[in-house]
Amino acid sequence: MASLADISGNEAALARQAKLLAAPATQDRALANAIRALAIDAVETAKSGHPGMPMGMADAASLLWRKHLRYDAADPLWWDRDRFILSAGHGSMLLYALLHLTGHEGMGIEEIKKFRQLHSPAAGHPEYHEHPAIEMTTGPLGQGLATAVGFAIAERLLAAKFGKSLVDHRTWVIAGDGCLMEGISHEAGALAGHLKLNKLIVLFDDNNISIDGGTEISTSEDPLKRFAGYGWATKRVDGHDFTALQAALVWAQKSAKPVMIACKTIIGLGAPTKAGTAGVHGAALGGAEAEGAKAALGWPHLPFTVPDEIYAPWREAGARGAGARRAWLKRLAKHSQRAEFERVMAGKLPEGLAETLSAYKAQLAAQKPKLATRQASQKALEVLIPALPELVGGSADLTGSNLTLVKGMAGATADNFAARYIYYGVREHGMGAALNGIALHGGLIPYGGTFFVFSDYMRPAIRLGALMGVRTIHVHTHDSIGLGEDGPTHQPIEHLASFRAMPNVLVLRPADAMETTEAWEIALHNAGGPSLLVLSRQAVPALRQDSNGNKSARGAYVLAEANGKRAATIIATGTEVSLAMAARETLAAEGIEVAVVSAPCFELFARQDPDYREAVLGQAPRIGVEAAIGFGWERWLGPDGVFIGMTGFGASAPAERLYEHFGITEAAIIAAVKSKGV
């Protein structure tokens, strides 16, 4: 046989395939062929989808699910299960076939027949929430792999806290050429190698094919060497040789490093003419090719039909972990930390948190500290970290700027995960995905910091977090031109507007220390999506006198009512609220009475009933103030409103000079009010 590395191109693939399929079919192959057949049928019926990857990886995946993956199909949410992440999400039929064959409820043959149809759990790409055994949404290549790093980090952190008897599982990933070409694979791989996440095992579908053709047209790297460089254990095996696969899977589980096994596969294995080509990547095989594939695989059954003698061993495999789960439940039942473990895994906040926070807020109301909101965030964390053991922080190399680290938090190292903080390094995208993974794993609430402008570097992960609805908290400091001298590369302009446009994200831009604390409280309770805390570098005065309740939770509220009839309503966010308050005072001295509305969170305000919104916004002319692009403000200002903010990129200068230069000043607010003829 030619060396594995030499196999490329369709002819070589077809020759290799012919040899493989000429050998008498083993039970292993027959069981794997059930996956191939279901993938072929589902894609034919849907007239769209990706048969090639499931057909190529069926052998490796079936061995994993039959012999190694720790799970119990009867309880896909068992907390100590192994996590399986299909990073190459286009191969979704691989996952659906595995769930179906192993007897998972909710993935019957009727569901498989509705592959890619509205309301089917067998969606085009795996969607979190569509089925409990789908650990996360995948499809944007590389995200699964990087999110898996977060899953593996969470496992280590929780194992250090609760012990191996409760937390001892692996994270398995199937990733393709595409996942490994993506930049995020670099960040994720390097972080995992550094932290020696040895319970992370990646099966690389090494088929040398992506959409445009053979991968040699666009890449000549050896991902195994790259990952070895990150500190991973690597191995290349024939992805259709069950003996070699079995040995590799056993070896992987003994590793002291994260593992990548490159499985040399033939994409679309079985397809008589298209195997080994990009032609099987993402289109139905077509009648003749589908028939030919089934004949070549020795699969004589009708579409969507799996004979009992194939179902039976698969169902057995699905129940293989039942004993381990029962034993685990017994251990949990008598574990000294059972209540706390159940609380954090259920994602419930500890009792007493509200009281702790209200005591702290009362203190803020009395002290009225003048602080940058990033500092106020750190002070809030000083209260939250001892009160919330499940809160784990980190930063993408900006700890001292984001102020994300407080007393009592150790940084995790490869040797010590009894820690509350991750030094993510300069890896915003990897951090974003890891935060998603930590949150998805359960048991922890992750936050991570970077400059707000570099949210661009993690946007795909935030978007996926929003789509999945996971509780991640993003501490995004240096929120505007107010950061000053670092200049326009570092000054976010369009970021508030763009994240406000993203569904299911709370964008919180607090105005002072009180609102910052409220923003943290809101974020912690926002279990169904990411929260962005958009925080200032520069100090702001305390604006709030009262500490009762959580005013920010309504999104916007009247911070200072006009004395008498409103001549205008000034609506501002973050650091600009204090400008609005100053303008209000100056105007009042001239006999012009205006109200100031603080609007820390547009999304929450939009959710309030119309009466409340109208009462807050009022009937008087409206002036909006925010040191950012005005896109999106129209909905609060209406057609006659005036927006004071940015219209282009920032500049390098001290913050105060910039505010003057760009006309975001008390004088501008006053002029705008007067321009309304009041």
Ligand X SMILES: Cc1ncc(C[n+]2csc(CCOP(=O)(O)OP(=O)(O)O)c2C)c(N)n1
* 141 touches, from Mg ion, ligand X, none (C-beta below 5 to 8 Å by class): ligand X
Q: Which of 121, 140, 176, 443 binds Mg ion (CB under 5 A)?
A: 176
Count of residues near Mg ion by CB under 5 A: 4
Closest residue to ligand X using C-beta atoms: 176
CB of 226 to ligand X, least distance (A): 16
Q: Is 185 in the site for Mg ion (CB under 5 A)?
A: no
18-26, 138-146, 203-211, 512-520 -> range binding Mg ion (CB under 5 A): 203-211
Q: Judged by CB, which is closer to Mg ion: 50, or 509?
A: 50
Q: What is the dihedral of CA 508, 513, 515, 518, to 10 degrees?
A: 90
CB of 125 to ligand X, least distance (A): 8
What is the Cα–Cα distance from 610 to 596, expressed in whole angstroms?
19
* 265 touches, from ligand X, Mg ion, none (C-beta below 5 to 8 Å by class): none
Is the Cα torsion angle 73, 75, 77, 83 positive or negative in sign? negative
Q: Which of 94, 98, 133, 209 binds Mg ion (CB under 5 A)?
A: 209
CB of 269 to Mg ion, least distance (A): 13
- Whether residue 515 lies in the annotated active site: no
In the complex, the residues that contact ligand X under the rule CB under 6 A are 52-53, 88, 90-91, 139-141, 176-179, 182, 205, 207, 209-211, 267, 281
Token duo for residue 297: 């695989």
* 496 touches, from ligand X, Mg ion, none (C-beta below 5 to 8 Å by class): none
CB of 141 to ligand X, least distance (A): 4
Q: Closest Cα partner for 375 from 472, 260, 177, 510?
A: 510
What is the Cα–Cα distance from 603 to 611, expressed in whole angstroms?
16
Closest residue to Mg ion using C-beta atoms: 177
Identify the helix (H) or strand (E) that includes residue 477.
Answer: strand 473-477
Q: Judged by CB, which is closer to ligand X: 54, or 446?
A: 54
Q: Could you tell me how many helices (H) and strands (E) the chain has, helices first?
A: 27, 20
What is the Cα–Cα distance from 366 to 460, expressed in whole angstroms?
41
7-15, 202-210, 579-587, 663-671 -> range binding Mg ion (CB under 5 A): 202-210
Contacts to Mg ion from residues 119-158, by CB under 5 A: none
Could you please report the per-residue DSSP string of 317-335? HHHTTHHHHHHHHHHHHT-
* 289 touches, from ligand X, Mg ion, none (C-beta below 5 to 8 Å by class): none
Q: Judged by CB, which is closer to ligand X: 140, or 492?
A: 140
Q: Is 87 in the site for Mg ion (CB under 5 A)?
A: no
What is the Cα–Cα distance from 102 to 85, expressed in whole angstroms?
16
Q: Which of 177, 238, 515, 626 binds Mg ion (CB under 5 A)?
A: 177
CB of 184 to ligand X, least distance (A): 9
One-letter-per-residue 3-state SS of 481-512: HHHCCCCCCCCCCCHHHHHHCCCCCEEECCCC
CB of 455 to ligand X, least distance (A): 18
* 472 touches, from ligand X, Mg ion, none (C-beta below 5 to 8 Å by class): none
* 224 touches, from ligand X, Mg ion, none (C-beta below 5 to 8 Å by class): none
* 88 touches, from Mg ion, ligand X, none (C-beta below 5 to 8 Å by class): ligand X
CB of 462 to ligand X, least distance (A): 15
CB of 90 to Mg ion, least distance (A): 10
Q: Judged by CB, which is closer to ligand X: 179, or 403?
A: 179
The residues with which 623 forms a beta bridge, in sequence order, are: 570, 642
Please check whether residue 270 is in contact with residue 257, taking contact to mean a CB–CB distance below 8 angstroms. Answer: no
Q: Is 512 in the site for Mg ion (CB under 5 A)?
A: no
Q: Closest Cα partner for 148 from 189, 103, 95?
A: 189
What contacts 110, CB < 8 A, 6 or more positions away? Answer: none
Identify the helix (H) or strand (E) that includes residue 515.
Answer: helix 513-525
Q: Judged by CB, which is closer to Mg ion: 205, or 512?
A: 205
Q: Is 207 in the site for Mg ion (CB under 5 A)?
A: yes
Could you please report the per-residue DSSP string of 116-170? TSTT-SS-SS--TTTSTT--S---STTHHHHHHHHHHHHHHHHHHHH-TTT----
Q: Exactly one of 289, 428, 626, 666 is catalytic; which is it?
A: 428
Q: 539 — phi, psi (to 5°)?
A: -75, 150
CB of 268 to ligand X, least distance (A): 9
Task: Return the DSSP state at 271.
Answer: -
Q: Judged by CB, which is closer to Mg ion: 204, or 421?
A: 204
What contacts 240, CB < 8 A, 6 or more positions away? Answer: 20, 59, 265, 266, 269
CB of 215 to Mg ion, least distance (A): 7
Looking at this protein, which amino acid is placed at residue 593?
A: E
171-179, 385-393, 440-448, 523-531 -> range binding Mg ion (CB under 5 A): 171-179
Q: Judged by CB, which is closer to Mg ion: 278, or 317?
A: 278
Looking at this protein, which amino acid is placed at residue 109?
A: I
* 140 touches, from Mg ion, ligand X, none (C-beta below 5 to 8 Å by class): ligand X
Specify the 3-state DSSP secondary structure of 65: helix
* 90 touches, from ligand X, Mg ion, none (C-beta below 5 to 8 Å by class): ligand X
Q: Judged by CB, which is closer to ligand X: 150, or 630?
A: 150
Token duo for residue 406: 């407080």
What is the Cα–Cα distance from 323 to 412, expressed in whole angstroms?
33
Q: Judged by CB, which is closer to ligand X: 142, or 150?
A: 142
Q: Judged by CB, which is closer to ligand X: 179, or 473?
A: 179
Token duo for residue 616: 């807050």
One-letter-per-residue 3-state SS of 550-585: CHHHHCCEEEECCCCCCCEEEEECCCHHHHHHHHHH
**Residues interacting with Mg ion, by CB under 5 A?**
176-177, 207, 209
Q: Which residues are catalytic?
A: 428
